A and B are shown apart, each in its own frame.
Chain A
């Protein structure tokens, strides 16, 4: 694996076979589209299917709500408590996956020669972030339990967060990707993570869960540092290669 982008015999572009490309484009004049319409037909079909679709799944009823009237539970938890539980479930899943994503990134950095040009604190920074993601996971488990909900359940937003992370996981675990690819994938995760913690604190406060909101303050500060660190590492990595 090369640790940076290299020039080579990439065969994907039309300019690699200009005569073939010319033939292909010429042929389309003789064989144009046979079905009238355009790309908006696909969008209309998506719109129709979306309006008819079922949901991904539901937020599990918290143990603390079982046997209680909805109005009683709402007095305890604020209006639509499932929105907060769903979001907490999402952050919990995201941080848990985040630990595994950083472990994959660490393995990659350990494997590649980081001596020449690589940021000196790269490995140490990734290990620190990995450990903090795990702390945040435990923090969220405690918050979900405090609300009487089940931290082992997969909420709908947790499920969707898992789908979002699939591409990042593929990039980080592919032995052929380099450190720049890995840092770019991590930046995607951290930018979203940062905004999500800000929103989560606001949601907890809005739902009257002030102690939970307060407990998240340190996590947000750490996440802000994660974004800044990963952004700086990627910048350093790319600019060093150019210079």
Chain B
């Protein structure tokens, strides 16, 4: 053991015993109609986290010859964990319905993180990003209603509001004003490091998903809307990615990522209602503990440091997967007019002129998010269900 506490103080399943088959990694999906929306929220979140686990390890392998083999070995397992998770999404989700679910993940998970985050600047950053994903949900809900004739609430199941927030048309900023101040690796709390890694992973996935499915749409406005929001998601990856300390070593980042995976799988396993999916979360929690122990060994071997330096101390409170309606409403009411100037949060009138110039350029001659949502007000059963007086 490595002197860690709480959930991290477990051996899990050793890597050589982590096995899969094609049959099980592409098994039966969840029900879009009958499973709870938060089962799908967890599926999407954990898929994004596993995707980022692969991403981080590939980047690490490019720069660390001695770590290439263990990185490849762990990646093989994580590839199949990711497949097992992502293949749970059923084929009757249209790409736009899945998009609504992605935005629900971004809202509900980021809101939970914002409330658990002890560092005020980092928490402010989560609240800032949250309001933008909240607005994306509104624009995409309008698009779903007006393109496919479907009610976004069939996906959201009443957990998440559908209203405009900070308008998507005003999310487009100059890169200077997307960068944030990073935490300091030697003084930041472990939960701060975990939050930055997990929200960056989630946003990265959302960006990549929109980039892949955007061109699948025939409707020109839908194509434009995905182009516009995918660009904002790239800004979000920039924003959240910059919260992490660039002076952490690669092995330190790997250690934090594995701890972040353990932290999330434990929360999924504890809160899942669907017994089949709960068993999968429990199994993958054990697998991740195996990965964490392996990386602790590598950390000792290559850095001659104690993993408890990074992962020691109190274990963070578990993230809660539940509707954060009241918190989100409060943030909308209080912070919708916040903007950025460099890494600072400022009032609307003080926004960076570079961002304003960039926005004017991009928003001419059309603003897709405005076209898709002009006059849109959500009603149960779509806007067509509103009785004309």
Contact = CB atoms under 8 A, between A and B. Distances in A.
A33 B34 contact: no
Contacts, number: 104
A57 interface: no
B371 A39 contact: no
A9 B146 contact: no
A167 to B, nearest CB: 10
Given A11-B35, A174-B91, A33 B220 contact: no
A192 interface: no
Given A10-B34, A11-B33, A42-B221, A27 B163 contact: yes
A46 to B, nearest CB: 6
Interface string B304-335: 00000000000000000001010001001000
Interface centre among A8, A41, A49 (most CB of B within 10 A): A41
A28 B158 contact: no
Interface stretch (B98-106, B113-121, B174-182, B377-385): B377-385
A17 interface: yes
Given A28-B377, A35-B374, A17 B157 contact: yes
Contact of B375 (A11, A13, A25, A37): A37
Q: How large is the interface on A (under 10, 10 to 19, 20 to 34, 35 or more residues)?
A: 35 or more
B161 interface: yes
A27 B161 contact: yes
B366 A24 contact: no
A38 B375 contact: yes
A72 interface: no
Contacts of B33: 10-12
A10 B375 CA distance: 30
A176 B90 contact: yes
Contacts of B371: 41-42, 45
Which applies to chain B's interface (DSSP): helix, strand, loop or mixed? loop
A34 interface: yes
Given A25-B380, A28-B163, A45-B220, A33 B374 contact: yes
B366 A45 contact: yes
Nearest to A43: B146
A2 B32 CA distance: 16
A14 B37 contact: no
B381 A14 contact: yes
Contacts of B35: 11
B337 interface: no
Interface string B78-94: 00000000000011100
Given A35-B370, A39-B376, A46-B219, 9 more contacts: A12-B32, A12-B153, A14-B380, A17-B159, A24-B162, A39-B146, A42-B374, A49-B220, A53-B220
12 contacts: A11-B35, A12-B157, A13-B154, A14-B153, A17-B157, A20-B325, A23-B325, A31-B163, A33-B374, A33-B376, A39-B375, A39-B383
